[in-house]
């Protein structure tokens, strides 16, 4: 019989990485979330070879103190929560304190950072945890190179460069729609692919979903007590053959939730036919205590305390918005 023994730290992180770090886009999602949690107003992303060779993200957020750099890479170390009460009302994207540790266990990672109150930056290497001075602007730059270089079995699951790039682009689109006040840029293999200026949701939706979407979209603005639904929902004339333009967020977090998708689909049921799919960017807000985001580290699932009430609310809010005569709607632009 084999005896029981504790696993080494690196292996524990690599096992965790198997769940969270599915592909370059999942790394990018985590890094974007960290930059946004740090209060960044501009985020620049550079990718090479679909993000497999390199993901470099630079933000102008609050930065990390040199003495904390080591902790940023440690498992279960976070600046975002400290207690169960914090966890139940968490408003940041991150709180598990394991993304960077997981990523660093399956790629070559370095983090350079400078807080706003210091003159000098520092950089840490993920493999040696050596910290050295670095000349840089205030903010943080994270580099993730050679994803899965030490876990060839996982590397085999990566798809073609164009596919991985498309997933990265989609991760950025999702984040950018929820954070229109933040400027983003995205470059791939040295060429600029996206440049999104800071603005409001209308402008961001236009940049990401296109003018045609916005021309057919009704502005959604429904609030009932602690529940609120805002965003844009396209009228049926602008329907899609796929679900590619369905962006649903719960308290600012992108989710792919059956209940919400169903409520939306039902609201369109009378006006949308056959195999067509509605297009929308919707933000549901509710008391953080009424929703559990702690279901899975990477999956975009949530659990509602009162699922029925949420379903009803979303359904009625959307149905009313779609059915209302044009002139009565606030913020609706006739075309």
Chain residues binding ligand ADP by CB under 6 A are 30, 34-35, 38, 59, 61-64, 72, 78-80, 94-101, 140
Residues within the interface to Mg ion (CB under 5 A): 34, 94, 99
Residue 141: contacted member of Mg ion, ligand ADP, none (CB under 5 to 8 Å, by partner type): none
User: C-beta of 259: minimal distance to ligand ADP in Å?
Assistant: 26
User: Judged by CB, which is closer to Mg ion: 79, or 150?
Assistant: 79
**Nearer of residues 55 and 99 to Mg ion, judged by Cβ:** 99
Residue nearest to ligand ADP (CB): 94
List of E strands, the chain: 42-48, 54-59, 108-114, 121-125, 131-134, 139-145, 183-188, 191-196, 217-224, 227-234, 246-250, 253-255, 280-285, 291-292, 303-304
- Please, what is the minimum distance in Å from the beta carbon of residue 257 to ligand ADP? 21
Angle at 76 between CA 170 and CA 171, to 5 degrees: 0
Which lies closer to ligand ADP via its Cβ, residue 57 or residue 217?
57
Residue whose CB is less far from Mg ion, 34 or 179: 34
Q: Which of 329, 196, 201, 212 is nearest to 279 (CA)?
A: 212
Q: Judging by beta carbons within 10 Å of its beta carbon (0-12, 13-18, 19+), is residue 223 exposed, middle or buried? A: exposed
Q: What is the dihedral of CA 64, 69, 72, 78, to 10 degrees?
A: -60
**Closest-CB residue for Mg ion?**
94
Rounded to the nearest whole angstrom, what is the least distance from the CB of residue 51 to ligand ADP in the complex? 17
Map tokens 């993901």 to a residue.
55
CB of 70 to ligand ADP, least distance (A): 10
Shortest distance, CB of residue 28 to Mg ion, whole angstroms? 12
Listed residue (220, 226, 235) closest to 317, CA to CA: 220
Give the nearer residue to ligand ADP in terms of CB position, either 97 or 199: 97
């Amino acid at each position: 019989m084999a005896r029981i023994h504790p696993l080494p730290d690196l292996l524990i992180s690599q096992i965790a990485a198997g769940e969270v770090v599915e592909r370059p886009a999942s790394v990018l999602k985590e890094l974007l979330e960290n930059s946004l949690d740090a209060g960044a107003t501009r985020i620049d992303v550079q990718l090479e070879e679909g993000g497999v060779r390199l993901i470099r993200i630079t933000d102008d957020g609050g930065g990390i103190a040199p003495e904390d750099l080591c902790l940023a890479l440690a498992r279960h170390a976070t600046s975002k929560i400290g207690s169960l009460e914090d966890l139940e009302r968490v408003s940041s994207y991150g709180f598990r304190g394991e993304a960077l540790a997981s990523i660093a266990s399956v790629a070559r990672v370095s983090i350079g950072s400078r807080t706003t109150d210091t003159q000098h930056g520092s950089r840490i290497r993920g493999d040696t945890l050596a910290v050295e001075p670095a000349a840089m602007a205030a903010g943080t730059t994270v580099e993730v190179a050679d994803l899965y270089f030490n876990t060839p079995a996982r590397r085999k699951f990566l798809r073609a460069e164009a596919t991985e790039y498309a997933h990265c682009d989609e991760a950025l689109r999702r984040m950018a729609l929820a954070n229109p006040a933040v400027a983003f840029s995205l470059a791939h293999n040295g060429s600029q692919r996206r440049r999104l200026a800071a603005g409001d949701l209308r402008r961001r939706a236009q940049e990401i979903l296109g003018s045609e979407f916005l021309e057919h979209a009704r502005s959604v603005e429904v609030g009932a007590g602690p529940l609120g639904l805002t965003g844009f929902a396209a009228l049926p004339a602008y329907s899609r053959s796929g679900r590619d333009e369905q962006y649903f967020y719960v308290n600012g977090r992108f989710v792919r939730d059956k209940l919400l998708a169903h409520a939306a689909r039902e609201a369109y049921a009378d006006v949308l036919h056959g195999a067509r799919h509605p297009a929308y960017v919707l933000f549901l807000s509710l008391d953080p205590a009424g929703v559990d985001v702690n279901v899975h580290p990477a999956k975009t699932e949530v659990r509602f305390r009162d699922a029925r009430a949420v379903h009803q609310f979303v359904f009625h809010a959307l149905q009313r918005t779609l059915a209302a005569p044009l002139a009565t709607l606030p913020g609706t632009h006739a075309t």
